[in-house]
Homo-oligomer: A and B are copies of this chain.
Amino acid sequence: METVLPKFESVFSIDCVIFGFDEGELKILLIERNVEPFKDWWALPGYLVEQDESIDDAAERILYELTGLRDIYMDQFYTFGDVGRHPQGRVVTVAYYAMIRLNGIKELKPVSSYARRAVWVSINDLPKLAFDHSKIFEKGFDKIRNKISYQPIAFELLPEKFTLTQLQHLYEVILNKKLDKRNFRKKMLNYGILKELDEKQKGVSYRAAKLYKFDRRKYTKLFQNELSFGK
């Protein structure tokens, strides 16, 4: 009868699927790997968990080291644990996702030399990825596509002030289908989680659209009620 753990040669890793929205396209953050295995390949930002850090902490640290991004709230969505998924040994990886605001930053500065660079890449234009990262991305994409259909999380991806048309485009890109403009607006405004601003779009060569802000207070309230309602 054992009283200590066996010393398997196994480690955990974290992989991050970070979604952004820019120029009308849904993008994810990729790094160019600077180390073996899969040196020079594109990959999701991901690395090994240290022995003395929780997986949530590891996710935050790893994303920072490989992309320079800080304070990004991520959620775990799936754990990949097939035997042969890492060429150097047994690595079970916990995948996290986040939806964030690009703020015009296209290229990021990795802190660690494991990543040569970190770049936003359109999901319609993804290269072949290292390890089983394509599979991980797909599952992460499923996750947000599913989530957005019952929770209005798209705001996370937009600039602070946005037009309803921009919001609709984002939904269309994620759900991969056209939506009706009138119905979309009606529904969004009915939620009561948008604050209409006294401001309009600038620099467009057509009628400027009203800008809106996301009302996080009301959103939280609404969402809590939905949850406690059990549906």
**Could you tell me which A residues sit within 8 Å of B by CB distance?**
1-12, 35-37, 48-49, 51-56, 58, 76, 78-79, 81-83, 86, 88-92, 94, 145, 149, 175-177, 230-231
Specify the main secondary structure of chain A where it touches its partner: loop
The 4 closest A-B pairs by CB, nearest first: A55-B81, A79-B79, A5-B89, A54-B82
Q: Which of A36, A54, A76, A176 has the most CB of B within 10 A?
A: A54
Give bound CA distance, A52 to B56, whole Å.
26
Give bound CA distance, A89 to B37, whole Å.
28
Inter-subunit contact B35/A1 (CB<8 Å): yes
Inter-subunit contact B11/A230 (CB<8 Å): no
Chain B's closest residue to A80 (CB) is: B55
Inter-subunit contact B4/A88 (CB<8 Å): yes
Inter-subunit contact A11/B6 (CB<8 Å): yes
Chain B's closest residue to A78 (CB) is: B76
Inter-subunit contact B88/A6 (CB<8 Å): no
Q: Assess A10 versus B51: contact at CB under 8 Å? Given A4-B89, A76-B79.
A: yes
